[in-house]
Amino acid sequence: MIVLLLGSNLGDREAYLNAACGMLEDALGVSLRRTVVKETEAVGFSGPAFLNMAVAFEAPEALTPMRLLDVCQSIEVMLGRPRHEAAFGADGRRIYSSRTVDIDILKYDDVECATKRLTLPHPQIYSRPFAAELLSEIELIIKNDIK
């Protein structure tokens, strides 16, 4: 099971989340299971509140974690998020900013990896309470669907 975390804190946040879900389904040929949408404060910077949700789906046969990352980043760009190298402050902390949509891969089955572009499972799942909460919620939805 693949679990993604989606967030938006600019413009029509809910419309961006819905558009991203539709684009993911179209690009990957999957049907997403979704959590409720939760509003959370920006983490790591001062900005408007985010709407966040988790989605889950079974991996299509030919999909790899890197291909999924490419699809997610392409959708982010199509929905108005500029792509740029991560910026870091003098203290070494990553500098975050507002965005139309953010799509993070939280889990990709039981895959573990750590590359320059992708770390799985996502390293900030448990340092961000809303991410852990949404992950637990989507896992419960999946468990109940299987019964």
Neighbours of 75 (CB within 10 A): 21
Mean confidence (pLDDT) of the chain = 91
* pLDDT tens digit sequence for 26-46: 999 999 999 999 999 998 788
* pLDDT tens digit sequence for 90-119: 777 766 788 999 999 999 999 999 998 899
Tokens (6 digits) for 21 = 């879900």
pLDDT at 92: 73
Query: Domains (ranges, CATH) in the chain?
Result: 2-146 (3.30.70.560)
pLDDT tier, 85 (very low <50, low <70, confident <90, very high otherwise):
low
pLDDT tier, 51 (very low <50, low <70, confident <90, very high otherwise):
very high
Which class for 76: exposed (0-12), middle (13-18), buried (19 or more C-beta within 10 A)? buried
pLDDT at 72: 97
**Pairing between strand 38-40 and 87-88?**
unpaired
What are the backbone dihedrals phi and psi of residue 127, each rounded to the nearest 5 degrees, phi first?
-90, -10
Task: Indicate left, alpha or beta for 80 from its phi (over 0: left) and psi (-120 to 50: alpha).
Answer: left
pLDDT at 33: 97
CA distances from 143 to 7, 109, 137 (A): 24, 14, 10
pLDDT at 55: 98
pLDDT at 83: 72
pLDDT at 64 over 90: yes
